Amino acid sequence: MTNKPRLLKETRQIRAADPMPPPPERLRLSDADLHTYLRARGAASAVNSLSGLDGYLAAILVGPKFIDPRIWVADLAGENAMMATEGTKDALAMQAIVHHFNTISATMSDAPDQYRPRFDTDRSGKPDPLFWELGFYRNCSRGWQKGLPWLLEYESTCGWRSPLSAA
């Protein structure tokens, strides 16, 4: 007899009617903490507000080219964010950013008419699209060969009004 542990093989069949269990919820920064995190990173981050983050991620999703997440996560949370130790501020920020990306992606694919850009508000309380636009445009220079003219052409042919062209 050997001293090796015995491995037991357990099989479980999932029937087509059985729903898949939801993935476990990962710890992440709250929106307020993520906003503070982006502000604290300053020029090291591609954006410095949740509105800018929303625009930046929207540009990734609607752009004509795939952008590797290792590139855009590094732009937002730093080069080492994907390798950060679980539970650290960088790891929690990365999880919050990816969660925001997945939320926008799911909305745009499942119910695109339900997507609403996340605008900051100005001093009078009105929506201010400036930081969303800056985040969106910041990413256009990375993956879009034609940049904004492509979006504006889409706008004129589809009857969609871009916040980038709002007066």
Inside any domain, residue 138: yes
pLDDT (tens digit, 9 = 90+) per residue, 7-62? 666 666 666 666 666 666 778 999 999 999 999 988 888 899 999 999 999 999 98
Inside any domain, residue 8: no
In the block, tokens 């949740």 appear at: 50
pLDDT at 14: 60
Q: What residues have CB less than 8 Å from 98, skipping those under 6 apart?
A: 69, 73
- Would you tell me how many other CB atoms lie within 10 Å of the CB of residue 148? 17
In the block, tokens 């509105």 appear at: 51
Quote the number of domains for the chain. Answer: 1
Inside any domain, residue 167: no
**Confidence band (pLDDT; 50, 70, 90) for 97?**
very high
Inside any domain, residue 128: yes
Inside any domain, residue 7: no
**Confidence band (pLDDT; 50, 70, 90) for 64?**
confident
At residue 141, does pLDDT exceed 90? no
